[in-house]
Structures are given as C-alpha cells and as structure tokens.
C-alpha cells in the first residue's frame, strides 16, 4: 500500500496477499448503478466523486473520496449482496486498492479493520446529513456554492471546469435555473463565469 492506514502485520499480510490495485483515468466511471460490488475500494491516489443516480437517470452529488478513504455504500452492498445504487467517477487519474467482498466479514477479527469500517460509516453518514441539510433547508445558491467548493477542493483549484448542465444534472435541477443563479452569484462577486469554467471568488 502507498498509504499508511494499518500497522497490524497480520492484516497487512492479508492485504498484500489478497488485494490488487486498479487505475482509473480522470473522468471514467469506476462503479455504476446496478453493478454487483465484488470489491471494496480504498483510494490510494487521486479522488473519486460519488453520485446517487435514480431510476430516471437524475443524479445528485453525495461526497468525494480522498486517499485513505473508502465508500460506505460499497461496503453496505458487499455486506448485503445488493447492487450498487451509486456512481463513482474519477476526478483525476486515480488508483484504488480493491478489497475482495468475501473478506469483509473475515477481516472483522482485526481491530484496526473494524475501526476503519466504523470510522468510514461515521464519516460518510455525517457527509450525507450535510447533503440532506443542504437539499432540505438551504437555498439553491448555498447548494451550488457547496458543490463548486467540493469540486474545487477535489481538483485542488478555485476554478472548476464544468458546464451549467453538468451542475444541474448532479444537483437534480434545471440548467436554466443554474444559469440564472450563477449569473446572480457573479453579480454578487461570489463567482466569476468563463467558457465552461467557474472561478470561486
């Protein structure tokens, strides 16, 4: 592994023996809705964007996964043998460690692994609560600004390369509404709009 998550030599031996790494190019989907999850991914390098996609193909952004993090949704799918309800897209060239699903229960004998899984559930649950709060209680401008800041953070920039349609798709709204809102935000010096770019001021 290229990140230091665990110190238990027995667990590290298991990881070395049974896991493999996978590289995903920027913009490619690593997990798609309806996939059978046979590996739990831990991000080694890069960033994964996690999106919830509904039956009507409408999407909503949930959270990012950074090095040392894994997806609670993928863990849950492995444990319940259910199909993926999310899409995972590489924000940049990304490398993940793939943990075979059939090892999830067996590795619970390692305290460090149990702590890692419990911490993952706690972190992702807190992020999902933030998303729910934004959708349920915030004005759309706060939702858009939060989304742009998260995309900027993931790409280590204050200028996000994205179309208004892409934002609308992932925030489950109409492009026209996003365009009007962004123009208003620009007038308030919150963002600066370019051709398929948005700079966060």
Of 152, 163, 144, nearest in space to 199 by CA:
152
- Let me know whether 113 and 66 are in one domain: yes
SS (H, E, C) 85-114: CEEEEECCCEEEEEEEHHHCCHHHHCHHHH
Instruction: Retrieve residue 138's tokens.
Output: 């915030």
**Ordered mean pLDDT values, 10 residues apiece, the chain (201 residues):** 77 91 92 88 92 72 88 84 87 92 89 91 81 66 86 86 86 80 84 88 85
What CATH number has the domain bearing residue 185?
Answer: 1.10.10.10
Query: Are 80 and 113 members of one domain?
Result: yes
Q: Are residues 110 and 37 in the same domain?
A: yes
pLDDT at residue 105 in the model: 84
Based on the fold, state whether residues 171 and 105 are members of the same structural domain: no
Let me know if residue 183 belongs to a domain: yes
Q: Please indicate, yes or no, whether residues 128 and 146 belong to a single structural domain of this protein.
A: no
Report the domain count for the chain: 2
- Expressed as residue numbers, the domain containing 91 is 9-136
Tell me, yes or no, whether 151 lies in a domain.
yes
| Interatomic CA distance for residues 95 and 182, integer angstroms | 33
Torsion angle in degrees (nearest 10) through CA of 124, 52, 81, 72? -10
Regarding whether 108 and 91 lie in a shared domain, the answer is: yes
In a domain, 2, yes or no: no
Residue 10: predicted pLDDT: 93
Q: Is 89 inside a domain boundary?
A: yes
Tell me which of 119, 136, 153 is where a domain ends: 136
- What are the percentages of helix, strand and coil residues in the chain, rounded to 5? 45, 25, 30
| Together in a domain, 184 and 155 | yes
CATH number at residue 100: 2.60.120.10
User: Same domain, yes or no, for 132 and 143?
Assistant: no
Helix axes 111-137, 72-80, angle to 10 degrees: 110
Identify whether 46 is part of a domain: yes
Same domain, yes or no: 110 and 122: yes
Residue 3 domain-assigned (yes or no): no
Shared domain check, 19 and 114: yes
- What is the reported pLDDT for 57? 65
Secondary structure of 141-156 as H, E, C letters = HHHHHHHHHHHHHHCC
pLDDT at 133: 66
Give dist(CA 24, CA 195) in Å, integer: 27
- State which of 112, 136, 160 marks the end of a domain: 136
Does residue 1 lie within any of the structural domains?
Answer: no
Q: Which of 87, 121, 136 is the last residue of a domain?
A: 136
Enumerate the H helices of 155-190 as residue ranges: 164-170, 175-187
Cβ atoms 105, 40 nearer than 8 A:
no
Do residues 132 and 144 share a domain? no
pLDDT at 135: 60
**To which residue do tokens 């992020």 refer?**
127
Q: Are residues 128 and 183 in the same domain?
A: no
């Amino acid at each position: 592994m290229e990140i230091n998550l665990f110190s238990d030599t027995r667990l590290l031996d298991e990881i070395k023996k049974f896991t493999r790494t996978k590289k995903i190019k920027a913009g490619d989907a690593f997990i798609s809705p309806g996939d059978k999850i046979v590996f739990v991914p831990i991000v080694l390098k890069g960033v994964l964007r996690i999106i919830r996609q509904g039956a009507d193909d409408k999407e909503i952004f949930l959270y990012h996964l950074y090095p040392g993090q894994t997806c609670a949704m993928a863990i849950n799918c492995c444990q319940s043998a259910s199909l993926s309800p999310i899409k995972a897209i590489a924000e940049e060239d990304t490398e993940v460690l793939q943990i075979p699903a059939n090892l999830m229960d067996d590795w619970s004998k390692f305290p460090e692994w149990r702590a890692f899984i419990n911490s993952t559930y706690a972190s992702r649950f807190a992020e999902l609560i933030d998303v729910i709060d934004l959708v349920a209680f915030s004005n759309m401008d706060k939702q858009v600004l939060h989304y742009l800041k998260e995309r900027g953070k993931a790409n280590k920039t204050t200028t996000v390369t994205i179309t208004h349609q892409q934002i609308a798709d992932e925030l489950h709204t109409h492009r026209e509404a996003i365009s009007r809102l962004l123009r208003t935000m620009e007038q308030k010096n919150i963002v600066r709009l370019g051709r398929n770019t948005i700079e966060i001021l």
